[in-house]
Chains A and B, each alone.
Chain A
Amino acid sequence: MRRRIWNVVRMEWTGIATTPSSPLFLVVVPLLLVGQALLLAWIVPRFVSPAILGTAGGDAGTLRLLILRQFPFFVLLIPAMVANVFATLGIVEEKVSRTLEPLLATPVRTWELLVGKILSGALPALAVAWLSAGLFVGVGYALGWGALLRTCLTPAFFLSIFLLMPAVSLLSFIIGVIGSSRARDAKEAQNLAVLVVFPIFALIALQVTGLVEFTPVRTLLLSLAFVAADAILLRAAVRLFGRESIVTRWK
């Protein structure tokens, strides 16, 4: 079981490694997001008029802190964007290259194939997201924002990075793979890919609007809810993977 999943993962990674744009994408997207967050945290407080800040009852430090606190949620976009590219093409590429039918004639089970596809994208995406979080904190400290960052590095932050993020990443990849297995071609898969960022945008909206304060307990509960959603959607993904229609209707 694990051997077959690992076989799929290794094959997917070999495919990523032999496609020059894929590793590049894995590096560029996180750098852009981290760079954008750092730039915003650095530049916005410098150029917003102190009078305006005073009217709002804050100062430049408060504004910077506000921006820094959004980062754990924006970093969730990294796995989502990676899923958008890799997961949504996972099954469609097999269809296009006509490798799916020979694959389905091997003893690999549908769920093993799908889990392999999901993990092959989710694991590097998570690794890159964690590295990005480390880079963000490191550069923040280097820029002299240590005091502000210490107020951000709360238990809720670590829970969101190490529990919520993996759960949400898996969800994005599962949605992506479902879209890929239902799509008839790469274009349709890419159109369906927009679905993978919905869970992330929902979280960002909750955070940015201030409707929900992400305390450690709430973050933990939310993470567990996403884990449950992962399990349910994975089962749905296996059921929705119509091997027969994929093989017979794909031309």
Chain B
Amino acid sequence: MEARTALSAHGLSKRFGERVAVDGLTFAVGAAEIVGLLGPNGAGKTTTLRMLAGIVAPTSGSATVVGGDPAVEPERVHESIGFLTESPGFYERLTAERNLAYFAAFYDGVDAAAAARRELERMGLANRARDKVGTFSKGMKQRLALARVLLHAPRILFLDEPTAGLDPEAARDLRKLIVSLRKEGAAVLLSTHNLTEAEELCDRIAVIRTQLVAVDTARALRERQFERRLRVRLAAGAEECLAALRSEAFVRDARKEGDDLLSVLLVDPDQDRPRLVARVVATGGQILEVREDERSLEDAYLNLVEEP
């Protein structure tokens, strides 16, 4: 996490009647950091975003977003955040430019017309600025929705399924944009079901299922769930190598998984890998391949959200 904190949540909870939507969420997002919110449907991702954006009040707990409490002073917080909602709507009979100018005019110190033109240009919609939004495709509306949340150069972006409904090219462009926004210093909290996207974009990933299940980098989440085993394929000498490796202190476990395949668990998979190779070669083993067992973020995620 970055040194400066853009937002923090402390025991954030939300109940709707008897139903607990979010339970005791505590986490933080640093400035210029992208954090992904992953969780199954109904896990409380959207409710979390809404609480942090000051649209829904928490039942208990608190949050600090750019120095303000969204439940206490939502308008102040709204000056500094952009919230891309799950189903972004527009005034479909009006033009894209008019839609954006309307929203931009609510922010202090923003030249609404200029901001609308700038963001339409950035989203590649400048040539459709005067067209009614009702004529736009779903992907174009999604880009327009993102343009809307960027009008006032927010310091924190809450993005609820930002690439939903976009074609692969548009989704890729949008991901590039999100990365460029981080470079400009914006913090991003994004909810997504797209694990590839989460892994590609996010500095850290928070897995929630009403409660916070885990929050860490994608790699750390994988490593936490699964051992990093190395597969060593040999042309010859598998038995001798296995015996040699089992006697080494840097090897936690070694086993044979076929005539010519060894599965090895090292104490430190990064530091000890050269020693492993050297030991195998010294024992007379002829190495064809050394590769790490690839476990995907999806495997780790499913493991995390699996019902106990």
Contact = CB atoms under 8 A, between A and B. Distances in A.
Interface of A: 3-4, 7, 11, 14-15, 18-19, 97-109, 243-244, 247-248
B296 interface: no
Contacts, number: 75
In terms of DSSP, what is the predominant structure of the interface of chain B?
Answer: loop
A247 B75 contact: no
B91 A11 contact: yes
Interface of B: 16, 47, 50, 53-57, 75-76, 78-79, 81-83, 85, 87-94, 98, 102-103, 105-108, 145, 148-149
A101 B54 CA distance: 11
Nearest to A93: B91
A84 B54 CA distance: 32
A-B complex: 10 closest residue pairs judged by Cβ atoms: A98-B89, A105-B83, A106-B106, A7-B105, A99-B89, A107-B78, A97-B89, A107-B75, A101-B85, A18-B93
B16 A248 contact: yes
B154 to A, nearest CB: 10
15 contacts: A7-B105, A19-B93, A97-B90, A98-B85, A98-B88, A101-B85, A102-B83, A103-B103, A104-B55, A105-B54, A105-B55, A105-B78, A105-B81, A107-B78, A244-B55
A202 B31 CA distance: 59
A11 B102 contact: yes
Contacts of A11: 91, 102
Nearest to A101: B85
Contacts of A99: 89-91
Given A101-B89, A244-B56, 15 more contacts: A7-B102, A11-B102, A19-B93, A99-B90, A102-B148, A105-B54, A105-B83, A106-B78, A106-B106, A107-B76, A107-B79, A107-B106, A107-B108, A109-B75, A248-B56
